[in-house]
Amino acid sequence: MKKRFDVRILGQDLSVISDSGDEHVASVVGYVNEKMQAAGKSVANKEALNIAILAALNIADEYLQMAGAKENLRKQLESRSEQLIHLINDIR
């Protein structure tokens, strides 16, 4: 069931609607705020838009790296499963 949450990100108050629970939304907001604060420390121009763009790029980079790692693990599991299937078939 969708619920409205009032959150604060980079000093801006926002209302968001989510199916997720309170704890999850709080975790997401905390994570985004951490990324915004880190981006704000590394950017010379302290405008909110520049900080948000840099934070979004950093989050996208993390996501794509994790997605790549997940795909590599999937391929390894698939390969090992096929090897096990061949070993089992060879034993029969």
The first and second tokens of residue 86, run together, are: 């061949």
The answer to whether 38 and 54 have CB atoms below 8 angstroms apart is no
Q: Where are the domains of the chain?
A: 3-91
Answer yes or no: pTM beyond 0.75. Answer: yes
pLDDT at position 21, please? Answer: 94
Each of the 92 residues of the chain gets a pLDDT tens digit; together they read 899 999 999 889 999 999 999 999 999 999 999 999 999 998 888 898 999 999 999 999 999 999 999 999 999 999 999 999 999 999 87
